[in-house]
Amino acid sequence: MDGVDLACCEFTGSEKGWKYRITHAETIPYDEKWRIRLSQLYKQPIELFPKTDAFYGRYLGILVKQFIKSHQLEGIDLVASHGHTIFHQPQAGFTAQIGDGAALSAECGIPVVNAFRNMDLALGGQGAPLVPVGDRLLFSEYESCLNLGGIANISFEKEGQLKAFDISPCNIVLNRVARWLGLPYDDRGQIAASAMLDEDLLHELNELPFYAKLGAKSLGREWINTEFWPIVKSYTDISEAEKMATLANHVATQIADVLNRNQLERVLVTGGGALNDFLIQKIKSKTSCELVIPEATTIHFKEALIFAFLGLLRIQNQTNVLKVVTGSRANHIGGALWGDFSKLSNQ
């Protein structure tokens, strides 16, 4: 909910080996109007869903045009857009990321790839995680990749097989507690570091059934709102700072458990949580695994880079979703196409 990540990415190579470069990148913060509109859409009247889908697509198209103009970019081949998740209920067979691809393409005048998750849901999968393809082909020098975004998720190779799944909520819950205190986020984990954790709350969160599940699994806002927050909010006698400390310890515990259980030794850590010193410190205190924190561009824009890469694989008709991590019936090519791709047909 912080804003829209935009990254201009260049790729060279083939399925035998890829190289990448992020030439320009920035995050456009949401104003309060968009933040409220996106956060509340899931419980609004039904006609507001397609309306916001179209308006948000136009908004993304405008941002793309402004990004290209401000950085004087030329020769852009395509836009790959994840969109903003409003619903994610794989157990019920559906997911919804708004940001209409037709509206986006019409506004910016560039071909668009979006709706990356839909085919996987149709094939019985979780629709997530999708980044492991990029982790394997772009970041193969690391044993494992851990993303500390709204959700903490991981990918790694074990006994020759790629594994990936969501671990736990991360910034999506930490930032909400920060907003209770009038802040957008807990800068470097200072709030969490200032308070004691609540052992009872920590124990109750750690006992949630999701954490005992093995194999392909993913988290959505619905699970957080129905399973996670009711527990946190039931502890009315502890302060917001104590809740922040407890939630950060909870996230660290779940991450360290995965690292230790799978005997991982060296992990690349990206996403905004990589800048949360308290969270990183707590993970390190619970595991001997080496956590590699890269430079700022990779921390903030690795997922944007990978979705650009998934869009490239899509237009080259190469597999970009793996059944072994999503639980679908088959490896497949995910993503819907909008606009004129004829100029790319021979590239």
Q: What is the mean pLDDT of the chain?
A: 95
The answer to whether residue 308 sits within a structural domain is no
Q: Could you give the angle at the alpha carbon of 149 between the alpha carbons of 241 and 113, nearest 5°?
A: 150
3-class DSSP state of 198: coil
Helices (H), the chain: 32-40, 48-70, 101-108, 118-122, 132-138, 171-180, 190-193, 199-206, 221-223, 229-233, 240-261, 277-285, 296-315, 323-326
Decide if pLDDT at 46 tops 60. Answer: yes
Residue 16 has pLDDT above 80, yes or no: no
pTM over 0.85: yes
Write the DSSP assignment of 29-48 as a string of letters. EPPHHHHHHHHHGGGS-TTH
CATH number for the domain that contains residue 111 = 3.30.420.40
Judged by DSSP in three states, 237 sits in coil
The whole-number average pLDDT for the span 289-313 is 97
Do both 167 and 107 map to the same domain? no
For residues 58 and 64, what is the distance between their CA atoms, to the nearest angstrom? 10
Domain assignment present for residue 310? The answer is: no
Indicate if 335 and 284 belong to the same structural domain. no
Indicate if 282 and 145 belong to the same structural domain: yes
Q: Are both 139 and 276 inside the same structural domain?
A: yes
Both structure tokens of 337? 């196409």
Phi/psi at 72 (5° precision): 50, 50
For residue 91, count CB atoms less than 10 angstroms from its CB and return exposed for 0-12, middle for 13-18, buried for 19 or more. Answer: exposed
Rounded distance, CA 210 to CA 221, Å?
A: 14
For residue 307, tell me if it sits in a domain. Answer: no
d(C-alpha 76, C-alpha 196), whole Å = 50
Tokens of 303: 């997922």
Asked if residue 322 belongs to a domain, the reply is yes
Question: How large is the average pLDDT for residues 44-52?
Answer: 97
Residue 329 lies in a domain: yes
Which of the four pLDDT bands, split at 50, 70 and 90, describes residue 334?
very high
Longest Cα–Cα distance of the chain, Å, equals: 64
Q: Which domain holds residue 256?
A: 132-298
> Residues 182, 210: one domain?
yes
pLDDT tens digits, residue range 261-291?
A: 999 999 999 999 999 999 999 999 999 999 9
Query: Do 87 and 160 belong together in one domain?
Result: no
Burial of 172 (0-12, 13-18, 19+ CB in 10 A): middle
Q: Which residue has the tokens 């997530």?
A: 128
Query: Do 42 and 86 form a contact (C-beta atoms < 8 A)?
Result: yes
Is the model's pLDDT at 346 over the cut of 50?
no
- Reported as a pLDDT band with limits 50, 70 and 90, residue 160 is confident
Looking at the structure of the chain, the number of domains it has is: 2
8 A C-beta contact, residue 108 and residue 61: yes
Asked if residue 224 has pLDDT above 90, the reply is yes
Indicate if 70 and 160 belong to the same structural domain.
Answer: no
DSSP 166-179: EEEE-HHHHHHHHH
Query: Are 170 and 219 contained in the same domain?
Result: yes
Would 304 be classed as within a structural domain?
no
140 plus 264 within the same structural domain: yes
Residue 303 lies in a domain: no
Which amino acid is located at 72 in the chain?
Q
Q: Does residue 62 form part of some domain? A: yes
Q: Do both 246 and 117 map to the same domain?
A: no
DSSP state of 321: B
* Shared domain check, 77 and 198: no
- Report the chain's terminal Cα–Cα distance, integer Å: 36
Residues 270 and 207 in one domain: yes
List CB contacts of 254: < 8 A, sequence separation 6 or more. 152, 167, 168, 206, 211
Sign of the C-alpha dihedral, residues 98, 40, 222, 170? positive
Predicted local confidence at residue 11, as pLDDT:
97
CA distance 264 to 259: 5
Q: Is 8 helix (H, G, I), strand (E, B) or coil?
A: strand
- Which pLDDT score is estimated for 15? 66
